[in-house]
Structure 1
Amino acid sequence: MDWAALGLNALLTLGVTLAVFTATWLLALRLGRHSVVDVVWGSGFVVVALVSLLAAQAGGHGDLGRWLLTLGLTAAWGLRLAVHIGVRNGSREDPRYVDILARATGSPAAHVYRRVYLPQAAVLWFVSLPLQVAAYQEGPLWSGASLAVTVLAIVVWAVGLYFEAVGDWQLERFKADPANAGLVNDRGLWRYTRHPNYFGDATVWWGLWLLTATHWSGWVFVLCPIAMTLNLVKGSGAAMTERRMASSRPGFAEYVARTSGFVPLPPRTETPNGAAR
């Protein structure tokens, strides 16, 4: 792999990522709502993947089959997520951004740019590094030991997409029923994990990283899926959602006691004294 070319690609995608999020910020100011940035999150990875593919192919680097597969899997995940969030949010503002703007000192526009757009741009660029590496790795995916790793990567990605897409669909169906207002969803995949969508998201990124693991250069960037997983568990994903749910959903403590926090597991049963085991 040409590390110098990969470095130049990383600089190129960093500039593209900053430009995408800055343009989204300007659009959000015009629309009067910052929830639009959530739509750009998934599609932003697709942009980085496409830019890296075009740059690598223009320079004569990498294996086209590897990158077409990586681009296809990234696009299937990212565009589904963008459409889902766009439909879910509609024209409403996300309460998270309302809270951030309420704490602004000085210019609210500059405050939200520093607190929301720049961090999201940095995380997206870092997590996307395996996608960029895949554009510059040489060698076919479908021969020798590479074949087994490639098949495993696709299987892991597919499991992740299933949990994320089905979890989102089940939650939207649950919320659409007026009889469930104020209740905690513990049906379907939500019976086995409190966050099937976030678990699926993390699993997708482990699958995409595995596409690079047939060569030692991919292992250099194993921190990228780790960072994505930690962000979904401890950062803006599960932890933030649970803080909001704990204060607004009766029965949430009982749901937490019997249901796995992230990795899907059989629900714990309750003992006669009410404790879960």
Structure 2
Amino acid sequence: MTIWILALWIWGISAVAMTAMCAFSIRARNLGYAGVAWAGLMAVAALLAGLLSEGAALPRTLTAIGGAIWGARLCIYLLHRVLHEDEDGRCRVLRATWGNSRGAWFLFFQVHALAVAVLALPFLAAGSATITVVDGWVLAAIAVWIVAVTGESLADAQLASFRADPGNRGRTCRDGLWAWSRHPNYFFEWLHWFAYVLLATSSPHAWLSWLGPALMLLFLYGVSGIPLAEQQALRSRGEDYRRYQREVSAFTPLPASTNG
């Protein structure tokens, strides 16, 4: 099955799944399920890339395992937040803006479905690689994946622990990685996509692997990630978060500044 046919299949599966999740979310009155479904569908996309791509067994196996573990972990983490915490402030703002417009909800979920298909292309590019032995590129891909998924998991765990303490309500997390970056989870999620760039070096579709880090950087840094998260943080934490913005890097982990 060609890479483009596979991408269309992934888009179709995602569109159907997101339609069902949209209906459920409307009843639950919580847009957060869109992120949960997106992460879960990314895991499915990685598995499909590993099973059905035309590349060698080694890159297909690593793509399936790496993408599925990353997506499943993120899906479970987001589901836990949706089930056990108040709805994310960004989602509440969108719901208040859209009101009872089911069309807006449906479009929101279908944009997520399209994002699954587009971001599956790096998986499919890696799964089309022809390499059959573990060489330097493969070892580098594994190392990047380990660092990225470990970093993202650690950042999520540190934030969850901070938020679980009622005494921290209204305060900004500066624990662990959050003292080095205002969004370390986003940084390591972005870094994770370079694993497929490295795996895809022998693929005829290697250029598609760069869509992962490029689009993720665009979404996280310039569109829906950091801008919306920081707007909500300023609404809820005010001056405490403004001081955090002055002192801590927005994205790349760096030593905190004592100025400002």
| Residue aligning to 1:259 | 248
From 50, 66, 80, the counterpart of 2:73: 80
| Residue aligning to 1:138 | 130
From 163, 169, 175, the counterpart of 2:157: 169
Q: Does 1:47 align with 2:47?
A: no
For residues 87-127 of structure 1, give each alpha carbon's deviation from its aligned partner in whole angstroms, at most 9, with x where no partner exists: 1121654333332233237x62111111x212211222111
CA distance in structure 2 between the aligned counterparts of 1:66 and 1:220, rounded to whole angstroms: 15
| Residue aligning to 1:195 | 183
| Cα distance, 1:70–1:221 mapped onto 2, change above 3 Å | closer
SS in 2 for 1:86: helix
Question: How much identity, in percent, do the aligned residues show?
Answer: 29
Q: Does 1:26 align with 2:14?
A: no
Q: Alignment RMSD, CA only? A: 2.0
CA distance in structure 2 between the aligned counterparts of 1:101 and 1:186, rounded to whole angstroms: 29
| Residue aligning to 1:95 | 89
Asked if the contact 1:127/1:225 (under 8 Å) is kept, the reply is no
Higher-Rg structure is 1
CA distance in structure 2 between the aligned counterparts of 1:88 and 1:40, rounded to whole angstroms: 13
Asked if the contact 1:17/1:48 (under 8 Å) is kept, the reply is no
Within 5 Å, which residues of 2 pair with 1:1-277? 5-56=2-53, 61-90=54-83, 92-104=86-98, 108-114=101-107, 116-142=108-134, 147-215=135-203, 217-249=205-237, 250-270=239-259, 275=260
Asked if the contact 1:194/1:256 (under 8 Å) is kept, the reply is yes
CA distance in structure 1 between the aligned counterparts of 2:229 and 2:44, rounded to whole angstroms: 28
Q: CA deviation at 1:216?
A: 5.4
SS in 2 for 1:66: helix
Asked if the contact 1:198/1:232 (under 8 Å) is kept, the reply is yes
CA distance in structure 2 between the aligned counterparts of 1:240 and 1:141, rounded to whole angstroms: 43
Asked if the contact 2:31/2:95 (under 8 Å) is kept, the reply is no
Name the stretch that deviates more: 21-30 or 78-87.
21-30
Asked if the contact 1:195/1:262 (under 8 Å) is kept, the reply is yes
For normalisation by structure 1, the TM-score amounts to 0.86
Asked if the contact 1:13/1:52 (under 8 Å) is kept, the reply is no
Q: Which runs of 5+ in 1 are unaligned?
A: none
For residues 15-44 of structure 1, give each alpha carbon's deviation from its aligned partner in whole angstroms, at most 9, with x where no partner exists: 122122112112323444332222112111
Where is the helix percentage greater, Structure 1 or Structure 2?
A: 2
Higher relative contact order (CA 8 A, sep 6+): 2
| Cα distance, 1:93–1:148 mapped onto 2, change above 3 Å | same
Q: Count residues in correspondence.
A: 258
For normalisation by structure 2, the TM-score amounts to 0.91
